Structure formats: C-alpha cells, structure tokens
Amino acid sequence: MTAVHDSSVTTIDGDLSVWPASTAECRPGEVAVGGVPLAEIADRLGTPVYVLDEAEVRDRCRTYRNAFPDTEILYAAKAFLCRAMIHWMDEEGLGLDVCSAGELELAVMTGFPPGRIVLHGNAKSPRDLASALRLGVGRIVIDSPSEIARLAAAVGPQGHQKVMVRVAPGISAGGHEKIRTGTEDQKFGLSISDGYAQHAIARILDQPQLELTGLHCHLGSQITSVKPYLAAVRRIVGLMARLHEQHGLVLPELDLGGGHGIAYRPGEMSMDLTTLARKVRTELTEACATAGLAVPRLIIEPGRAIAGPAGIALYRVLAVKRTGALTYVAVDGGMSDNPRPALYGVHYAPRLIGRHTTADRASVTVVGRHCEAGDVLAADVELPADVRPGDLLAVPVAGAYHLSMASGYNLVGRPPVAAVRDGHARLLVRRESLHDIRVRDVGL
C-alpha cells in the first residue's frame, strides 16, 4: 500500500509516504488530494474539516482482497463509519464488523446486507442484541458467559443464530498498552489458559438455537509484526483440537481480528500485508495438519489500515505563542475532534499548506483550543518559522479514530467530512452546528 506518485509533480518536502496516493502540489504551497486543492475545501466548508480520499479507501480494500483472496474481510466500522463508507465497503466486496446497534442500524438502513455483518463487543446492551436479531446479522461474537443465556432467550426455542466466541489467547501486541486486547488482564474475550473459553463453548453447545461457527480473537491495534498473529493461530488451533477431542466439534471459521499497523509519520513501520497473509496461511495450514483438523475459513477485520491513511484533517491557525524556548501553534480544533494524542501519545506530522514560504523550519508544538493542558495535537514538530494566525495546517493519516471518537467538549461541534475523487469534492457528513447542540438540551 505504498503510495506511488508522478515524478513530474512537485512533492511536499520530498516525502508523501503517509499521504494518499493522489496527493500533489500543483503550485508551491498548494496541495491537492483527489484532484481538489485542500485550501478550497477549507474555504468552502470551514475548519476543522476532514477530507477523505475515496479512491484511496477503495484501493486499500482491493489491496486486502488481493493479499487475502480466500479470506472473509470485514471492515471494522468503529474506525470510521458513514453512509458513503458503508456503500464503498459493499461495492468493494467487504463485510462489516460492528459493535453497537447504532453502527448496525446505520449499515442496514444504507442497504448493506445484514448477513455480511458481524456484531461484537464486551458488553452488548439489550438493544444491541435485539437489533442484531431483528435485522438478521450474520454472526454475533459472544464475549462473556452471561451473554449466552441472554442471547439464547432472545432467540427463542424455535429461533436460530450463528455465533462465535471471542477468546483471549494471552498474547501482548499493539502500539500502546491501552490498545492491547489479546492479553488476559483486560476486558475482552474469554481466557484459554484458565478454561473459561472452554466452559463457555460447552454451554453454547447445550443451546440448540445457537450455532457455533468459530473462534474469534483480536490482539490489539497498531501491530506491525507478523509474529503475534502466528502465535495466536497456534494457540487457537490448539484449542480447536481440544474441542474436537472433547466434543467432536469441527469449527469452520477462525477470526483473527485486525489491528494491522500503519505509519503516521514518514519512516515509521507499517504491517506488510503480503507477508502477513502468506505466513498466517502457512501457519494455519500446518497447525491444522498437525492437529488433524480441516483448515477453517479465515476472517480478518481491518479498520484503521483502510480508513486511516485516506483521511486528512485541516485546521486553521488561531494563535502563535512563544514561551521561553517553546513555540505553541494553536489551531481551531483539538482533542474534541482527535483525542488520540491525549489517550495514546500518538505522533503526527502536520504540514503548512495554502501558501508558499521559503522560511527556515522551526520546532513547534501544535495545540488545540480546549481547556486542557493535555490538548496537544503534535508535539515537537517542524513547521516553517513564519507560521502565523490564519495559516492552514493539514494532518495526514486522519481517517480512523478521529471523528468516530470525537466528543462534545466545550460544545464546539464535531467537524464535517468531505470526500474527494477525480477533481470533485462532496460533503458526506455535515458539521455539527450550535443549533444541533441546543435542540438536544430539552430541560430547564
């Protein structure tokens, strides 16, 4: 998924490796994505604003399909979801992985086939389960023993629902401790080592209206090494072998989740999908042969790796403040539209766009407008030394876990999302207005 660009086009500081493949500098300082100058989008829609390159999203879907030709690929909707994204996933042949009634109902309302949707989550509400059963989702991932009885009762004695069980394989992987979900000391899944997973599976087998189709695990996020996935395959196939021995059970599916890492700044590592696909397939085939099992169908759930690199966040500079040796560049967004730096210490590479400058570069910290000292978007980054109020900053790799995690802090309203493709821009999600905020407040 490395971006390739026409060498005749002027590049931005000579490195576009983390920008969408369509990025170009038409004139000095004027950056376009999908054939549309970003400054024009900022002028038309205001800032902050997210720009999503439709062609980049679709290309990344096809990259997954080519790397994993015999695998069911589910887009992890929690990364970013809107009706256009749902439509693109449908057209590109991907399924959806959702974790709430809201995500599920938006997908089905948009026309996405419910049979290609999987619902998971560690604490599904009654509404989540009711919506899943009413709309006919393909599979529900059971994450705790209490869900078994609740789901069986909701399905009813004459009903039928395919389910999977999420297991915790005891593997630590991920870019930050808060996004490592394969270990046994966090809220997701049922432990293999202490027998909870086996006990839950035995209970499911006693519920004839629940059809167990396979096992599910998700190791974490921002994983750039193949090794944790291979370890997970070995441990889960080992569990499958024990289930076959104890119950005569042959499970046709194995969901390895997602978490495939991407580069947020030039030079950072990302997951090599071709290597991942080849080694996981080899490991799965060999482990099943050793255990005497048929090879289950593989399922993966990429989210960030599809949406993240396709998005750019645009901000307007409001103030530049020099305090001692530090320079703070304050913008009109912040932790309400991107909480990830505050949550996980994520690092970005913002760039000045919209005007040409020959000024030397200086180390600055880009901060948000919110009333928190931790509202920092990018610490110790280089920008032109003459950056000033009114300038436009672009932050690449902003397509995942930005708007989906946005909040109403300070009541500033969540930003809009525009899609670009072939020289055209269109609004996908409008800006949350002050009117929207007022009409929700119904008491006095």
Contact present, 383 and 391 (Cβ < 8 Å): no
Q: If 0-12 CB within 10 Å is exposed, 13-18 middle and 19+ buried, where does residue 199 land?
A: exposed
pLDDT of residue 169: 84
pLDDT of residue 322: 92
Length of the chain counted residue by residue: 444
pLDDT of residue 203: 95
pLDDT of residue 65: 98
pLDDT of residue 17: 87
pLDDT of residue 310: 98
In 69-214, where does DSSP find H-type helix?
83-91, 101-110, 126-135, 145-155, 196-205
Lowest-confidence region among 3-17, 71-85, 114-128, 135-149:
3-17
Widest CA span of the chain, in angstroms? Answer: 73
pLDDT of residue 4: 32
pLDDT tens per residue, range 391-403: 999 999 999 999 9
Instruction: Write the single-letter amino acid at 167.
Output: V
pLDDT of residue 194: 83
Lowest-confidence region among 175-184, 263-272, 283-292, 300-309:
175-184
Segment holding 322, helix H or strand E: strand 311-323
Contact present, 286 and 366 (Cβ < 8 Å): no
Contact present, 189 and 215 (Cβ < 8 Å): no
- Inter-helix orientation angle 54-67/273-291, to 10°: 30
pLDDT of residue 341: 92
Lowest-confidence region among 171-180, 185-194, 219-228, 347-356:
171-180
Rounded to the nearest integer, the mean pLDDT of the chain is: 91
Q: How is residue 143 written in tokens?
A: 């994450």
DSSP 136-165: T-SEEEE-SHHHHHHHHHHH-TT--EEEEE
Q: Rounded to an integer, what distance in angstroms lies between the CA atom of residue 139 and that of residue 162?
A: 5
**173 has a pLDDT exceeding 80:** no
> Residue 322 CB: number of other CB atoms within 10 A?
9
Contact present, 298 and 254 (Cβ < 8 Å): yes
* Position 148 confidence tier, pLDDT thresholds 50, 70, 90: very high
Domains of the chain: 24-53+309-440 (2.40.37.10), 68-302 (3.20.20.10)
**Torsions phi, psi for 281 (to 5 deg):** -65, -45
Cα 276–Cα 277–Cα 281 angle in degrees, nearest 5: 115
Q: CA 266: distance to chain centroid?
A: 20
pLDDT of residue 216: 95
pLDDT of residue 172: 58
Catalytic residue positions, numbered? 371
CA atoms within 13 A on the CB side of 117: 26
pLDDT of residue 75: 98
**10 has a pLDDT exceeding 50:** no
Contact present, 377 and 334 (Cβ < 8 Å): yes
Span 135-145, average pLDDT: 95
Q: How is residue 35 written in tokens?
A: 């054939």
In 227-355, where does DSSP find H-type helix?
227-247, 273-291, 304-307, 340-344
pLDDT tens per residue, range 349-394: 999 999 999 999 999 999 999 999 899 999 999 999 999 999 999 9
> Residue 250 CB: number of other CB atoms within 10 A?
11
Higher pLDDT, 15 or 423: 423
Contact present, 383 and 352 (Cβ < 8 Å): yes
pLDDT of residue 9: 33
pLDDT of residue 174: 53
**239 has a pLDDT exceeding 70:** yes
From first CA to last CA, the distance across the chain in angstroms is: 53
Secondary structure (3-state) at 359: coil
Secondary structure (3-state) at 439: helix
pTM greater than the 0.85 cutoff: yes
* Position 220 confidence tier, pLDDT thresholds 50, 70, 90: confident
Higher pLDDT, 154 or 197: 154
210-216 vs 72-76, strand pairing mode? unpaired
Q: Rounded to an integer, what distance in angstroms lies between the CA atom of residue 182 and that of residue 188?
A: 8
pLDDT of residue 185: 61
* Position 188 confidence tier, pLDDT thresholds 50, 70, 90: low
pLDDT tens per residue, range 55-66: 999 999 999 999
pLDDT tens per residue, range 87-139: 999 999 999 999 999 999 999 999 999 999 999 998 899 999 999 999 999 99
